[in-house]
Amino acid sequence: MLVDSHCHLDFPDFAEDLDGIVSRARAAGIGRMVTISTRVRKLTQLLAIAERFDDVYCSVGTHPHNADEEDGIAPDELIALTQHPKVVALGEAGLDYFYDNGSPEAQARGFRAHIAAARATGLPLVIHTREADEDCGRILEEEAARGSFRAVLHCYTGGRELALKAVSLGLYIGFTGILTFKKSEALRALAAELPPDRILVETDSPYLAPGKFRGKRNEPAYVVEVAKVLAEARGVSLEEISRQTTENFFRLFSKVPA
């Protein structure tokens, strides 16, 4: 069994074909999917999808791109929304300095509010970080000093230093189809180096179709391609990577029934 720990089933790209997407994922051996929230204010729509499929769960959070729009959402509100049985994580929240969406200040405020909610609930936080290694590392260290929390740096594309810092703070690292791209040698080297109990696979679909599907719409079934490349990079079998990443998923996303 494999798990897609990060997809976006509520995006318009999937609207026409959601039953097909989920049944293809099941046929490919994907046992669970977590559809990740990008706007707290759209949780109702996301929950409708999670409630429709037994093996689909969701998170609640504000993507850094939407940080200005949802500035000021307090940890208490996030905590209340996690009471729903299908909400199994916070996020995605964090810092994205690659795109000019969301002021850095609002992104940081949102990031810290989501960390507070993760700490209070014990649920994992899905962290989005892009071109923001230094500030992300600093916030993680400051917040970890206030009290531990659980999290994954999803769709990891940052440097080695931030990844190792995150691992030392007890966090996980998630890999997408970017791992399969030819130019991603440094990322594969990092993926090979991380402890086996801290790695996850995900698609971030509909974006980032891996390997042979590059340029097409991505979907949860293709997480197999990410797992294959991760296995190759680490010099283990696909079966071993499937077993390990699935075990890691259930340890981190502990609200999802095994």
Q: Which stretch binds Zn ion (CB under 5 A): 9-17, 200-208, 228-236, 247-255?
A: 200-208
Query: Shortest approach of Zn ion to residue 36 CB, angstroms?
Result: 5
Whichever of 10 and 92 has its CB closer to Zn ion, that residue is 92
Contact status: 198 vs Zn ion (CB under 5 A) = no
Whichever of 92 and 143 has its CB closer to Zn ion, that residue is 92
Whichever of 119 and 128 has its CB closer to Zn ion, that residue is 128
Whichever of 36 and 241 has its CB closer to Zn ion, that residue is 36
Enter the tokens of residue 217.
């719409």
Q: Which residue numbers belong to the known binding site for a divalent metal cation?
A: 6, 8, 92, 128, 154, 204
Reading phi first (left if > 0) and then psi (alpha if -120 to 50, else beta), residue 189 is in alpha
Interaction residues for Zn ion, span 25-64 (CB under 5 A): 36
Rounded Cα distance between 121 and 75, Å, is 10
Cα 124 to chain centroid, rounded: 10
Query: Shortest approach of Zn ion to residue 30 CB, angstroms?
Result: 17
Q: Which residue, judged by CB position, is nearest to Zn ion in the bound state?
A: 128
Enter the tokens of residue 91.
């996020």
For the residues of 177-238, what is the DSSP string, one character each?
GGGGSTT-HHHHHHHHHS-GGGEEE---BTS---GGGTTS---GGGHHHHHHHHHHHHT--H
Question: Total binding residues for Zn ion by CB under 5 A?
Answer: 4
Whichever of 231 and 252 has its CB closer to Zn ion, that residue is 252
Whether cis (ω within 30° of 0) applies to the bond prior to 75 is: no
Interaction residues for Zn ion, span 210-249 (CB under 5 A): none
Q: Are the CB atoms for 59 and 92 separated by under 8 Å?
A: yes
Contact status: 128 vs Zn ion (CB under 5 A) = yes
Query: Shortest approach of Zn ion to residue 67 CB, angstroms?
Result: 13
Strand partners, 153: 127, 173
Contact status: 86 vs Zn ion (CB under 5 A) = no
Rounded Cα distance between 42 and 205, Å, is 18
- As a whole number of Å, the CA-based R_g of the chain is 17
Smallest CA-to-CA distance from 50 within 34, 71, 62 is with 34
Q: Which stretch binds Zn ion (CB under 5 A): 49-57, 128-136, 159-167, 235-243?
A: 128-136
Q: Which stretch binds Zn ion (CB under 5 A): 15-23, 80-88, 116-124, 127-135?
A: 127-135
Binding site for Zn ion (CB under 5 A): 36, 92, 128, 204
